Structure 1
Amino acid sequence: MAACGRVDEAVEQARTHSEGDTWYAVSHVARLLAGDGRLEEAVTALSPHPTANSHDLAEYLIDLGRVEQAVAVLHQHRPQPPARSTGPWHETPPF
Structure 2
Amino acid sequence: MSKPGEARVEEKLYQNRYVVDGGRSHIRVAAHDKPSANLLAMTTLCPAGCYTLTEAGQVEVAPDGCFECGACRVMCEPGGEVEWNYPRGGYGVLFKFG
TM-score relative to the length of structure 1: 0.28
Q: Tell me: higher relative CO, structure 1 or 2? Use CA pairs within 8 A at least 6 residues apart.
A: 2
**Which is richer in helix?**
1
**TM score, norm. by length of structure 2:** 0.28
Larger radius of gyration: 1
Structure 1 or 2: larger strand share? 2
